Amino acid sequence: MSVKPIPKSEALKICEQLRADNSRKLFSISKMQCGGCMKFSKGDMSKMCFANGEGNRGCNLVNAVYDKKKK
């Protein structure tokens, strides 16, 4: 099974939505993952987790949302 790449604009949009959703949570693993990504990337899209995988598939959270939407 081949995995389709995620367009950068779509990956960034999903990432932003995930961060907004996580900001309302008191504690969650995904909130910690997003917080770490933002801290180390300093908001630079090319250094964010999703950009570190082939086809912008470096973030399991972004991948899950994208794949669910495309089913």
Overall pTM surpassing 0.85 (yes/no): yes
pLDDT digits (tens, 9 = 90+) for 23-68: 999 999 999 999 999 999 998 999 999 999 999 999 999 999 999 9
Residue 26 lies in a domain: yes
Q: Is residue 56 in a domain?
A: yes
Q: Tell me, yes or no, whether 51 lies in a domain.
A: yes
Q: Considering its fold, how many domains does the chain have in total?
A: 1
Contact call for residues 8 and 15 (beta carbons, < 8 A): no
* Residue 17: other Cβ atoms inside 10 A: 12
Within a domain: residue 3? no
Q: Whole-angstrom Cα distance, residue 11 to residue 58? A: 10
In a 13 Å sphere around the CA of 65, the CA atoms on its Cβ side amount to 18
8 near 57, Cβ under 8 Å? no
2 pLDDT band (50/70/90 cuts)? low
Answer whether residue 19 is part of any domain.
Answer: yes
Other C-beta atoms lying within 10 Å of the C-beta of residue 25: 9
The domain containing residue 12 runs over which residues?
Answer: 8-69
